[in-house]
Amino acid sequence: MKVVLENLTKRFASRSEKGKDVTAVNRFNFEIPDGQLVGLLGPSGCGKSTTLNLISGLETPTEGRILFGDQDVTNLPPEERGVGLVFQNYALYPHLTVEQNIIFPLQNLKGNQKMSKAAMHEKALEAAKLVQIERLMERKPSQLSGGQQQRVAIARALVKIPRVLLLDEPLSNLDARLRLQTREELRRIQRETGVTTIFVTHDQEEAMSISDLIIVMKEGIVNQIGKPQQVYDDPVNLFVAQFLGTPAINVLEGELRDGRLMIGGEAVLDMPGKADGAVWAGIRPEGFVLDGNGPFTCAMERVEVMGRDVSVVCTHEKMTGRNIRAIIPAESRVDTDQKTVRFSLKPAKVFVFDRESEARR
């Protein structure tokens, strides 16, 4: 089921009388294709959870429309939208067993959708098998680990075969190792069911690793939508560039002059066809190449060996933030005794942004 968001806006009234209204979601336009796994990504407070609540129907939009396929669901209550929602804390009913939790949505069906007890059990078992918890049906949620609770929550959301599956920070309550496993699981479950899935996260790695599409939000406004790699390789503005990637992109004060990028008096890279002016220069950590004759000179700080590759930490007077971090292959020999280190830069890994608007140039 494709999901269409048209001009979706949500404003919350301010708590104090004089304060301005808070716009949590501002004119969100997008069409999510059928059967895709979409990551809604942004820092906390950017409106991503509100967007999810709008799609689920727990909040009503101030303006705009939501369509599932061709059906306008903007004014439908949550139960009539056919959505499955997984909460950040799972919200499993603690007094019910796993099976009773999963069956709960089926028991609410009315009219000709009503099911027999046997059919409900079968459906619940099917959903439980999908998330591999069929052995835990008689347990109470308190007797399950975090990962198992998460699976129960997903089974409960899927048991009615929703048109859209929504997950709010699905991995944030899990420890690091489980998080890696679970995100693979999420991907598998989504593939198997083919349900259009939207999940919210503030962890860019999580979003990039499993999503078909990511939507980067900031302060209620959608900044960029695209395939993860495409957004990473081609950020539209400084915020998106900074938000994606670990270690984060290095941002330096720079200047465009005569088709060349100048940083601190050095012409570090040819950038033909770009207008002159002050810019932010963003260099991905993997964009540095160790080069004794390279144009970019930094003061050496230290070298961190991480096995697969080496992280060269150095400083530069034009650098915003603390240190420049360059990641180079482990084979390269870095002389840690020298005071300075010289790099040449990979053109595809260097982005320039307008100093004022922070938009890509």
Partner 1 sequence: MKTKNNWKAWLYLLPAILFLAVFMVYPLIDVCVYAVEENYSFAQGEATGIGLANFRYVLSDPYFVQAVRNTFLIVIITVPLSTGFSLLIALGLSSVKRLQNAFQTIYFLPYVTNTLAVGLVFMILFRKTDYTEGLVNLLLAKIGLGGVDFIEGPYWAKMFVMCFYTIWVVMPFKILILTSALASVNQDYYKAAKVDGASSFRIFRKITLPMISSTVFYLIITGFIGAFKAYSDEVALFGTNLNAAGMNTIVGYVYDMLYGSSGGYPSYAAAAALILFAIVFTITYINLTVSKKTVQYV
Q: Which is nearer to partner 1, 30 or 104 (CB)?
A: 104
Q: Which is nearer to partner 1, 196 or 323 (CB)?
A: 196
Q: Which is nearer to partner 1, 71 or 89 (CB)?
A: 89
Q: Which is nearer to partner 1, 80 or 317 (CB)?
A: 80
Q: Which is nearer to partner 1, 79 or 270 (CB)?
A: 79
Minimum CB distance to partner 1, residue 111 (Å) = 12
Q: Which is nearer to partner 1, 109 or 299 (CB)?
A: 109
- The neighbour count for residue 69, using CB atoms within 10 Å, is 13
Minimum CB distance to partner 1, residue 57 (Å) = 7
Q: Which is nearer to partner 1, 117 or 257 (CB)?
A: 117
Contacts of 3 (CB under 8 A, 6+ apart): 31, 32, 55, 66, 67, 68, 164, 196, 198
Determine the Cα–Cα distance for residues 326 and 286; give it in Å rounded to an integer: 6
List beta partners, residue 333: none
Contacts of 38 (CB under 8 A, 6+ apart): 32, 196, 197, 198, 199, 211, 212, 213, 214, 215
Q: Which is nearer to partner 1, 166 or 271 (CB)?
A: 166
Minimum CB distance to partner 1, residue 93 (Å) = 6
Determine the Cα–Cα distance for residues 149 and 91; give it in Å rounded to an integer: 9
- Residue 360 structure tokens: 């890509």
Minimum CB distance to partner 1, residue 357 (Å) = 39
Minimum CB distance to partner 1, residue 248 (Å) = 33
Minimum CB distance to partner 1, residue 68 (Å) = 14
Minimum CB distance to partner 1, residue 304 (Å) = 42
247 prior amide bond cis, ω within 30: yes
Minimum CB distance to partner 1, residue 323 (Å) = 41
Q: Which is nearer to partner 1, 160 or 218 (CB)?
A: 160
Minimum CB distance to partner 1, residue 75 (Å) = 15
Residues binding partner 1 (CB under 8 A) = 56-58, 77-80, 83-85, 87, 89, 91, 93-95, 104-105, 108-109, 142, 156, 160
Minimum CB distance to partner 1, residue 28 (Å) = 20
- Residue 217 structure tokens: 């939000």
Q: Which is nearer to partner 1, 76 or 313 (CB)?
A: 76
